Structures are given as structure tokens and as C-alpha cells.
Chains A and B, each alone.
Chain A
Amino acid sequence: MKRIFKIYTPFINAGMQETATYRVNWVFYILGSVLGCFVSYFIWHAVFLSGSGETMNGFSLPQMIVYIFLIFLTSTMIGSDAAWAVGEEVRDGSIAMRLIKPVSYNATFLFQELGNKLLTEMFLVVPLIAGLEIVRTVIVGRVEFSVVNLLIYLCSCVLAYLINFFFNICFGFLAFVIKYLWGANMMKNCIVGFLSGAIIPLSFLPETLGRIFMLLPFASLNYTPVMIYMGVYQGTELLYYIGLQVFWALFFFGLSKLLWVVSVRRLSVQGG
């Protein structure tokens, strides 16, 4: 364990330095992305004004606000560029440089990205959660924030990140087969966005469809952590969904190992 840690610390450092260099750029990127939340907020605001009841499919307006911003926070936290990075390395051949080193191919990506995230997430989680909870307290008129839920939420996000990372590694190996990863990546993000509840809460879908989506790995990415934060899942239900997350994380971990073995045989790097 100590040895593993020693090997991969440089990758974490590299990831952190990478982020620190482009921090201004990152701030603009986040500001641009958060605008989408405000668009959703105004749409839902108008929807609740136009609807008849106080709640809609189990959501009140303050809950919906929490949902919109937490979905954004969760997607940013668990976001992974692995598919893209793997695809690019396959295409330009720099994958060869990683292959000659006595480290695990997937793990180098994982630790580099973790370094990235350690920095960015501290700057995102604290202000966003604090701001959101202040707004919610003002609107609702009482404190609904729960530290326990926040902590379980963060653990659930770690699991969600692992699922997403290994899923993306698997997807990145597609670059061995198809050349155009950019468009395929966009399609993937779109489908995952919908299936994970990022576009609309899964409870708004027809019941059977919603139930099927809950079993798929994508609900574990985004919907499950957010529901945990909001305190919807309690007791055995909570354990069930965390268990499901663990299952999917292991599943994609195994699949990525398998695909690695299969695809590295097909790899041919030109030149040097």
C-alpha cells in the first residue's frame, strides 16, 4: 500500500500543478457552466408558478433548486476526462510512453485526475453548498441542512466518480475501434446526462421507465448522491443504493481491465 502510494504521488502532484497553472481559465469555465443552472432555475420557477400544486412529482420549488445545483455540483465533481485522454493517446501514439513504465495504465490516469480534483473541488464544494443552504434557509424559513447527509453524499460521490472513471476508460478504448471519439463522446454525454437524471429528475418519468433507469449504472452517477444529500434515501434504502454503486464501480473496474487486455493487443503505434 505504501509502495503504491509512493509510486503514484508524483501523478497526483502533476495533476494539481496542471490545475493551478490554468486556474483563471477554470474559473471562467465554471462560471459559464453554472449559467445553465440558472436557466433551469428560471424554467422550474415558471413551471411551479404555472402548475396547480405546491409540489410536483415529490418536489417542491426549494427542493428543485437544491436538486438543480447539486446535480451540477455532482456532475462537476465526478466528471472524468479519461475517455478523451485515452482516445487522444491512442490516436497520437503517446500511449506508448505510458506502456513502457512499470505502472498500471489506468491508475496513472486515475491519480493524475485525482490531483486535479483535489484542488478544484475544494474551491467549488464549499462556496456552492454554503450559498445553496443559505438561500434554502431563507426561502423555507428553517434550517434543513444535515451534516450527516452531506458526509454520506461526499462518500457516495467518491463511488460515483470511480464508476464514471472506469466507465470512461472503457469508453475511451473505443478509440481502438472508431476514430471519431469527439462526436461519440458528445452522444455518450447526452445519453448519460438523461439517464442519470441530470436533465430531469427521474421521478418525472413514467413509473416503469424511471424504475428501469434506477437500476442502470447511470443513476448511480448523479441521481443517487443527490437523493442522499436531500435525505430522500434513508435506512435500508440508503444501504441498497450505496451497495448498487459499489457493484457498478466493481463492474466497470473489471470491464476496463478486460478491455485493456483485449485492446492492447490490437495497438500499433507508428513511428517513434
Chain B
Amino acid sequence: MKHIRRLFRIHRIFVVQELKRMMEYKGDFIVGVIGFLMVQCSNLLFLWIIFNNIPNLLGWSLNEVVFIYGFSLIPKGIDHLFFDNLWAIGHFTVRKGDFDKYLTRPVNTLVHVLFEKLQIDALGELIMGIALVCVSLPQLQIEWSVFKVLLGIAAVFFATFIFTGIKIITASVAFWKKRSGNIIYMVYMFNDFAKYPVTIYNEVIKNLITYIIPFAFTAYFPALYLLTGENPLYNVGMTVLMSLALMSLGVFVWHRGIRAYESAGS
């Protein structure tokens, strides 16, 4: 318990530090958020134009598609907001030998890396995700219960760590290969598939994003449960399981990687 309290305190110190840094560059941060908002808007425009040409997308209405799309942005945005520093590990921290600094501090390296940065640009995704869910909800006939709301929140929480877990595993490759930024990128891009109803894909893609790189559990399955109320054990339960499995694997691979880490000679 004391240990966890200490971690929270460290996190707060890092966040305050980040916020101070950000206040120095207020303009930058606004531009970044607007940039992310615009990227999402252009995707929405795409959906809207498509739905002008068809009555529904293989049985999915525009509102349902928007709901799933919006839901997918929430865990993605939260992970992006808090744990973006992993990209830096893959792109340059290890290659330049800067990783040494984490090894000299009295905090677990993974915790330190995760806590260090706050990527405020991610608010663009997060705001958009929440807005889309809110806009599409009134048009959808969803029966709400306390249980459902709680499961929905739990799903978002665990889905976030599916993103984080996948990023930790792929970022760790850098400990052996010096850089892995584009490996993170390649795997991460699979989340694009998860923004749309999984039923539009063929079996190969469907199985891939359900069982191998399980991004489908960050959006489609939990959103499906919220939309229909069906099968919470699979739709939300698997989200929790996948999340725990990926995080455990991530922690394991990370610590194996640190053993293999050799600093850059300079």
C-alpha cells in the first residue's frame, strides 16, 4: 500500500513538472490538439459522405458506426495521453544511450518511463471520442443500468492497457535491436481496423485483430456489449483478460530486455 502511495506521489510530481513545461508553450499545445481534432474530423466526413450513398453498412447504421468509432478513441486517447513516452524508447532513447538515466534512479524503469511524459495533444482524440459517443447515444435505443455503466467504464480502463501493453512489448524490442519505433508503428496501426465494426472484415483480419493483436477488444467488442447488452462475459470479460495478459507479457519482456540492454558507447 505504501508502495502504491509512493508511485502516485511520483506520478504527481512528474505531471506537475510536465504541466509547467507545457505552460511555457501554450500555443504549441493548442495547435497540437486542434491538429488531432482535425484528423478525426476528416475521417468522420469520410463516413458521412459514404453513408450518403448507402442506407446502412452491412446492417450497421451511421449512428452505430459513429458510436463504435468514438468509443475506440477513448482508450486510445487515454493511453496516448499518459503513456506516449514509449514511442521515444523505440525511436531514440535506447539508440542514443539516453536510457542509462532510468537505470540510475530509485524507481522501476518501466514505471519511470510511463510516468515521465504527458502528451497533451492526445486530448484532441479524447475530446472527439467522448463527443462522438455523446452525439450518437441519444439516437440509439440503449437500455442503461448501473451494472452496464460500470462495465463500460471498466472496459475503457482495461482497453487502455491493451494499447499500453502492446506498446511496451514492441518498444522493448529496442533493447535488443537498438531501435523499434517503426515496429511499434506497424503493430499500432492495426488499431485502425478496430475503429469499424469487425463484421466488415474477412476471417483472416477478424482473427488477427481478435486473437493475435487484439485491438478488437479496445473498441468493437465492448461497444457491441453497450449497444446490444449481449454476452458481457465474452465482450467485456475478454477485454479484461487480454489486457492483463498483454500487460504481464509486457512487463516480462521489458525486464528481459533491460538485461540485454547495452548502453551506446560514446
Contacts and interface: CB of A to CB of B under 8 A. Distances in A.
Contacts of A235: none
Contacts, number: 109
B188 interface: yes
9 contacts: A25-B181, A25-B182, A28-B185, A29-B185, A32-B188, A42-B205, A49-B58, A186-B35, A194-B42
A199 B53 contact: no
A139 interface: no
B188 A179 contact: no
Q: Is the interface of A mostly helix, strand, loop or mixed?
A: helix
Contacts of A51: 53-54
Interface in A180-221: 180, 182-187, 190-191, 193-194, 199-200, 204-205
Contact of B193 (A39, A47, A178, A183): A39
Interface string A25-64: 1101101110110110011011101110000110000000
B39 interface: yes
Given A39-B193, A50-B56, 8 more contacts: A29-B182, A42-B196, A46-B57, A50-B54, A51-B54, A179-B27, A187-B35, A191-B38
A29 B90 CA distance: 13
Interface stretch (B44-52, B105-113, B234-242, B244-252): B44-52
B121 interface: yes
B32 A183 contact: yes
A194 B45 contact: yes
Q: Is the interface of B mostly helix, strand, loop or mixed?
A: helix
Interface size range of chain A in the complex:
35 or more
A239 B27 CA distance: 44
B16 interface: no
Residue from A25, A182, A204, A205 whose CB has the most chain B CB atoms within 10 Å: A25
A100 B192 CA distance: 46
Interface residues of B, number: 41
Contacts of B27: 178-180
B182 A38 contact: no
Interface of B: 25, 27-28, 31-36, 38-39, 42-43, 45-46, 49-50, 53-58, 121, 179, 181-183, 185-190, 192-193, 196, 200-202, 205
A182 B119 CA distance: 13
A39 B121 CA distance: 25
Nearest to B38: A190
A180 B181 contact: no
B190 A43 contact: no
A190 B56 CA distance: 27
A6 to B, nearest CB: 35
B55 A50 contact: yes
Contacts of A200: 45-46, 49-50
Contacts of B193: 35, 38-39, 42
B63 to A, nearest CB: 15
B36 A186 contact: yes
A183 B207 CA distance: 35
Residue from A57, A182, A185 whose CB has the most chain B CB atoms within 10 Å: A182
